[in-house]
Amino acid sequence: MNLNVTPFPEKARLLSLLKKSQFKVPDFLYIPAEQFQNKDFETLGRFLQGHRESFKVIARSAHPQEELFKSGTFDSVETYADVAGIIFARKRIMKLAGTTKRLTIRRQQIFNHAPDFDIEEMGVIVMPFVEGSNVMAKMIGGQWEFGYCRDRTHKVQSEPFITQTPHDIQLLRLSEKIQETLGFICEIEFVISGDGEIYVVQAKDISNVDVLEQAESERSIALDGIHRIRKRRNYRERPLYVMDTRQFYIDIISQCEYKIYEDTCPDPTIDDIVATIKKFEKDMEIFALKYQRYAVLGLSIHNPDNLYQVANKYLDKMPEMQARLSKALHKNLYFIDIFLSEADTLIAKDKFRLSLCSHDAYGIDTVRNPLWTVYWRVDRHGDVVSEFKRIGFKTGDTVGIDISPTGKPTVIRL
């Protein structure tokens, strides 16, 4: 037995089982890391040759330990239907794991006991790209639910939504049959093509995920009524991070101002200015690694009052310094997005939304902690921000969010 052979990933194994069971799974090929390392692309070349008409394929991550992480932790990449395209896609998946997805991986290792892993063991599943909408199906508390997201076939896009009534009864029957075939509770990802064909592109075992509704139903008894003075429909408490990029950019511009105009001793160097940006990012990372669930209060998030552009031009008379500053500020925008994507609660003006892929919107890991976006109207922005500052909301506070029966949220500093 060769102990160096990479284990067959759950994603590829379950797809193979479903394909053998005559479910409509797109043709696919699993390529382990060893074949990339040995440049053994003969099988891949034959597979791609059979799908030249597609022009485009999708490379899905297939790490041997991927099943121990949340769905959506590792990426899928659309690419050209040639060997170079697949090599690029794998490198892209691996790079994203160390950059955009680094924070979510570290948080899962801290809070969910996810393992250390070797990114070089990343394999990929290659399948023809199917144009259509994504639907995620799973059974929660004895009821099937279907999450709809990213309908690529329509120009006008809708928000992700969950329903217990799928658009096609065949989707329910397929889900039941797949779960029966696999023999465990699973989360199933479908792609529905423009002509209505339903393809199974992924299945994941979720039988070991603790689902609150199911656990409560097993330990609960229904009674007949309640008498109470205070009624609350929805409520959650979260540690709070207060994001004020307006103040952050003002601090950066002030340091630039000292650099250009003030006779200070010593005046701030470009290293000092970049260090301020790095500290801002480090503070966010420390906060995200300290709390598994957290809320972000966005007093200002992106490009307040065009201050981002001002900071990007302030040192134009010192081109080398401005180049370093612009690069650091550009990377900072991405870090803010990564930090926001790990929050399960965003409190901000109505202009902002958490951008949701299918796993973010209704994956199994969101059942106990669904994403909330609590907002105020744009025309009230100045007044609301002033009120948050008057009350004294600050990073590290615990906030409660109470949603009234009419759907109006109240945010409380506890």
- At 352-405, the pLDDT tens digits run 666 555 565 555 565 566 788 888 888 888 999 999 999 999 999 999 988 877
Residue 318: count of CB within 10 angstroms of its CB: 15
Top-confidence range, 191-200, 208-217, 220-229:
191-200
192-218: average pLDDT: 77
Residue 355: what pLDDT?
A: 59
Token pair listed for 181:
């075939």
Residue with tokens 């979720």: 206
- Contact between 199 and 190 (Cβ < 8 Å): yes
**Predicted confidence band at 168 (pLDDT cuts at 50, 70, 90)?**
confident
d(CA 51, CA 70): 31
**Predicted confidence band at 157 (pLDDT cuts at 50, 70, 90)?**
low
- Contact between 126 and 78 (Cβ < 8 Å): no
d(CA 62, CA 202): 11
- Contact between 57 and 126 (Cβ < 8 Å): yes
Q: Secondary structure of the chain in the HEC alphabet?
A: CCCCCCCCCHHHHHHHHHHHCCCCCCCCEEECHHHHHCCCCHHHHHHHHCCHHHCEEEEEEECCCHHHCCCCCCCEEEEECCHHHHHHHHHHHHHHHHCCCHHHHHHHHHHCCCCCCCHHHCEEEEEECCCEEEEEEEEECCEEEEEEEEECCCCCCCCCEEECCCCCHHHHHHHHHHHHHHCCCEEEEEEEECCCCEEEEEEEECCCCCCHHHHHHHCCCCCCCCCCCCCCCEEEEEEEEEEEHHHHHHHHHHHHHHHHHCCCCCCCCHHHHHHHHHHHHHHHHHHHHHCCCCEEEEEECCCHHHHHHHHHHCCCCCHHHHHHHHHHHHHHHHHHHHHHHHCCEEEEECCCCCCCCHHHHHCHHHCCCCCEEEEECHHHHHHHHHHHHHHCCCCCCEEEEEECCCCCEEEEEC
**Mean per-residue pLDDT of the chain:** 85
**341 or 176, higher pLDDT:** 176
For residue 204, pLDDT beyond 90: yes
Residue 278: what pLDDT?
A: 96
Amino acid identity of residue 137, one-letter, is A
First CA to last CA distance, the chain: 59
pLDDT one-digit tens code per residue, 292-336: 999 999 999 876 668 888 888 878 888 888 889 989 999 999 999
Residue 263: what pLDDT?
A: 56
**Predicted confidence band at 257 (pLDDT cuts at 50, 70, 90)?**
confident
Residue 17: what pLDDT?
A: 96
Domains belonging to the chain, first-starting first, are 1-15+27-129 (no CATH), 131-211 (3.30.470.20), 234-413 (no CATH)
Q: What residues are paired with 349 via a beta bridge?
A: 376
For residue 55, pLDDT beyond 50: yes
d(CA 339, CA 296): 9
Query: Minimum mean pLDDT among 41-50, 128-137, 256-265: which range?
Result: 256-265
Residue 218: what pLDDT?
A: 52
35-64: average pLDDT: 92
For residue 129, pLDDT beyond 80: yes
- CB-based burial of residue 246 (10 Å sphere; 0-12 exposed, 13-18 middle, 19+ buried)? middle
d(CA 41, CA 177): 35
Residue 274: what pLDDT?
A: 93
Amino acid identity of residue 120, one-letter, is E
**406 or 153, higher pLDDT:** 406
Q: For residue 293, report the phi and psi dihedrals to the nearest 5 degrees.
A: -120, 130
